[in-house]
Chains A and B, each alone.
Chain A
Amino acid sequence: MTAVLAILVDSYRELIAKKLFWFVLAISLLIVLSFGSIGFNDKGVSIGYGIYTIENDVLKAESALIRPFMDFAFASVIVSMWLAWGAIILALISTAEIFPNFLAGGAIDLILSKPVRRTTVFFSKYLGSLLFVFLQVAIFCVGVLLVMRWRVGEWRWPILLAVPILVLVFSYLYSLMVLFNVVTRSTLPSLVLTLLAWLALFTLHTTDGVLLTQFRIRAEVDRDAYARRIEWYEQRLNEAAEQGDNDAVNRYRTRLAADEASLAEAQERVEKWTPISQAANLATLLLPKTSSTTNIVQRQLQSSSGMTTSSLMSALNGDQPGPAPQPESYENDSQGDMYRRRDQEIMRRAEEYENSRPWWKIIGTSLIFEGLVLAVACFIFVRRDN
């Protein structure tokens, strides 16, 4: 235990000796200050600590939307863009040389000559390297927590969930970097390979997401929309037939024929894209899920405020939350309205799908990947002569 603690303390000293650590911290504090500059007055949203006001009828002082809006700004903008991308890229750059320096001749000889098992040395150093993100995100989140207390008027404790979640996301990528470190023993190639691997993971998950939302869910939404239209037109057709309005009957029959063809085409797309989307999802099952893991913070905040992103957007637009409202008559339904409803419904269902995925499955499958990568890296470290 003394040895593990010594390696952790040493890692801490190594991190704070880096200029990049303080640079990232400075950026984080600037972002916290910027976040804190968002306020609410009688006219709307004030920014720059009251210097400028954006007038808004819905989002203003005393509005019930303030809390979900600030949650959204934190989880969807700050966490997803700064912490999950910017800060992690800088953290990868900062920690890229930790293992190569550790493995360098003269340094590793002394460590391995001590009465500590190589696996203990390896995992202690690995955990120590994660301190970079832990410290950065912890300080950042405490700052945001204080801002929320000031602006929203309550302690939003779920914000602190970002600390373990972001450390977890970083650890998925850092495990890959450590593997490249022990294989190449070089900083730059390891960093480049890790960033390429991250890009590959991002591409795979984006492909999975696009297949799901833009093909499968879109086809399902189209199918359901046409099914509703057909049902509406059938009712109108029956009414027109009962009233003996032949012009209306002919008009409805023409519309029905077109919609039935569209329904068949949509059903065909559903049948085509569902297995493809499922296969893509299966292919990414055991890969680390950086975005989905980050989204857990947003899900937790939404669950505590009882408002999803899509329902917040609907509320800010003055719409009713939930499924897109259907028109009373499809006869005068414009194509623009139809597309708007469809996009809103796709967003809602995609969000529903994402939120339905159990967090333990997202983290669990990612950790299995991380564990396998670390096991290979550790095996190489333990077996190699130094």
Chain B
Amino acid sequence: MNSTAAGSTSNNGWCIDLHHVSKTYRGRIRALDGITMQVAPGEVFGLLGPNGAGKSTLVKIMMTVIRPSRAEGTVLSRPVGHKPTLRRVGYLPEHHRFPSYLTGEQVLSFYGALSGVGRADRKRRAAALLERVGMSKWRDMRIAKYSKGMMQRVGLAQALMNDPELVVLDEPTDGVDPEGRKEIRDLLAQLRSEGRTVFLNSHLLSEVEMVCNRVAILLQGKVVVQGTIEELTRGSRRFEIEYAGPEVNWLGEIVGATSRAAADGARRIIALPGREARDAQPIIDRLRADQVVIHRCQLCVESLEDLFIRSVRDPATGRAHLPGAARGEGAS
């Protein structure tokens, strides 16, 4: 990694600092609607959203593949769309297609050259990166003979050919087996430890949860939530007590406590939002005094999946928003 990578900060301190990013396609399809998003240097940032939410469009705007209808802000301290800055960015697109007539090593050399990497560096880095993604054995085999997983590994190596400060990965684990996914997660952790910023676009919430510092959820071209997973799930933190028996009549005396039937119907669950185990002790004592059998006492925090489902559902109907971009009157 080059000397500027570790501390790559923009003037405002963000590695990616986007404001009012909008994209309306022909046919008045509004893919993005005023996106504002910040990614700190050295963090792994996860971009989530249902199909058609605009995730790939946003990534492609940052990578100058698509022209925005409007975009303000910076990527690595330079305006969005500044081509020379892409020398410092690595990118793995979703559904990428490498030329089938090239070998793995030639693929790395070709894309490395397009990123401005010199010949000697290309050769050295290609060998090292193929080793790093476990593809050295197949370096001279034509891409046409690669499996999907092998293609992803070479794709990841390709994204690192120019020793980037920022790595943008669009569905990097797509088509990769569980073992390969773990290796990719480990690689992302290594990239973070090397001080690189990783912008990860993925459907696999469990993976994002495992590796990302911060996430944003996109819905119909808008950011609905953004922050660290801890910040975003803090509101859901609660202590739950599950017991056998009917609803207790004294629960109203405890501020904020709620009660609901458990899944099996015979038990009930008392939830204490924002409370810790210590706060639950008097309730447990009271239940025990009433000879109630307690089945479970647990501190509960919403998972990223719960957060995602909650974010993409319409609060009024409780149903998921229709997939896809916005279209119609508001589109401009």
Instruction: Give the interface of A toward B (CB within 8 A).
Output: 2-3, 5-7, 9-10, 13-14, 17, 101, 104-117, 383, 385-386
Contacts and interface: CB of A to CB of B under 8 A. Distances in A.
Nearest to A7: B114
Contacts of A2: 113, 116-119
A101 B101 CA distance: 12
B101 A13 contact: yes
Interface stretch (B42-50, B59-67, B251-259, B283-291): B59-67
Interface string B51-93: 0000000001001111100000000000000011111010101
Nearest to A113: B63
A127 to B, nearest CB: 16
A96 to B, nearest CB: 16
B83 A116 contact: yes
B113 A115 contact: no
Contacts of A117: 83
Given A109-B93, A114-B86, 18 more contacts: A2-B117, A2-B118, A3-B114, A7-B114, A13-B106, A105-B97, A106-B96, A110-B96, A110-B98, A110-B111, A112-B63, A113-B63, A113-B64, A113-B86, A114-B114, A115-B86, A115-B115, A386-B65
Contacts of B91: 110, 113
Contacts of B115: 114-115
A106 B95 contact: yes
A204 B71 CA distance: 49
Contacts of B99: 10, 13-14, 101, 107
A14 B63 CA distance: 26
Given A14-B101, A114-B86, A109 B63 contact: yes
A248 to B, nearest CB: 84
Contact of B113 (A6, A109, A112, A386): A6
A116 B85 CA distance: 11
Contact of A115 (B60, B97, B116): B116
Contacts of A116: 83, 114
Given A106-B93, A385-B25, A113 B102 contact: no
A110 B64 CA distance: 10
A105 B170 CA distance: 14
A105 B93 CA distance: 10
A115 B66 contact: no
Given A3-B116, A109-B63, A113-B91, A10 B110 contact: yes
Contact of B96 (A109, A112, A386): A109
B113 A110 contact: no
A105 to B, nearest CB: 7
Nearest to A107: B97
Contacts of B114: 3, 6-7, 111, 114-116
B113 to A, nearest CB: 3
- The list of the 4 closest CB pairs from A to B, nearest first, reads A6-B113, A17-B101, A106-B97, A113-B63
Contacts of B158: 110
Given A3-B114, A114-B86, A115-B85, A109 B102 contact: no
A385 B61 CA distance: 10
Contacts of B97: 104-107
A385 B67 contact: yes
Contacts of A386: 60, 65-66
A108 B94 CA distance: 12
Contact of B111 (A17, A108, A114): A114
27 contacts: A2-B116, A3-B113, A3-B114, A6-B109, A6-B110, A6-B113, A13-B99, A13-B106, A104-B97, A108-B65, A109-B63, A109-B93, A110-B91, A110-B93, A110-B98, A113-B63, A113-B89, A114-B111, A114-B115, A115-B85, A115-B87, A116-B114, A117-B83, A383-B67, A385-B25, A385-B66, A386-B60
Contacts of B113: 2-3, 5-6
B30 to A, nearest CB: 14
B151 to A, nearest CB: 11
Nearest to B62: A113
Contacts of B86: 113-115
Nearest to A386: B65
Nearest to A111: B114
Given A109-B93, A115-B83, A385-B66, A10 B60 contact: no
B93 A113 contact: yes
A116 B83 CA distance: 7
Contacts of B117: 2
A246 B109 CA distance: 97
Contacts of A6: 109-110, 113-114
B306 to A, nearest CB: 33
Contacts of B66: 385-386
Contacts of A107: 96-99
A10 B115 CA distance: 15
B59 to A, nearest CB: 9
